[in-house]
Amino acid sequence: MSEPDAANQPAVNIDGASPRRLAATELLQGQRTVEIVHNDQIYRLIVTKNDKLILQK
């Protein structure tokens, strides 16, 4: 028997609660790029010309 595919499993936080869900449009607010700061590091969430999302360090 094969292992369940993790991509098809519902996301769960450490406390067992469902994660907060945001629409990309809420984060991007009409822009193609937004910067996210995490642990003093800057990450960029970018919408490509093919309408895909990329998270870049």
Does residue 10 lie within any of the structural domains? no
- The per-residue pLDDT string of the chain (57 residues; one tens digit each, 9 = 90 and over) reads 555 566 667 788 888 888 889 999 999 999 999 999 999 999 999 999 999 999 999
Does residue 14 lie within any of the structural domains? no
Helix (H, G, I), strand (E, B) or coil at 53: strand
Does residue 57 lie within any of the structural domains? yes
Supply the pLDDT for residue 2. 54
User: Structure pTM?
Assistant: 0.70
Range of the domain at 40: 23-57
Supply the pLDDT for residue 7. 64
Does residue 4 lie within any of the structural domains? no
> Domain with 50 in it: what CATH number?
2.10.70.10
User: Which pair of tokens denotes residue 47?
Assistant: 């919408």
> Distance between CA 30 and CA 37 in Å, rounded?
19
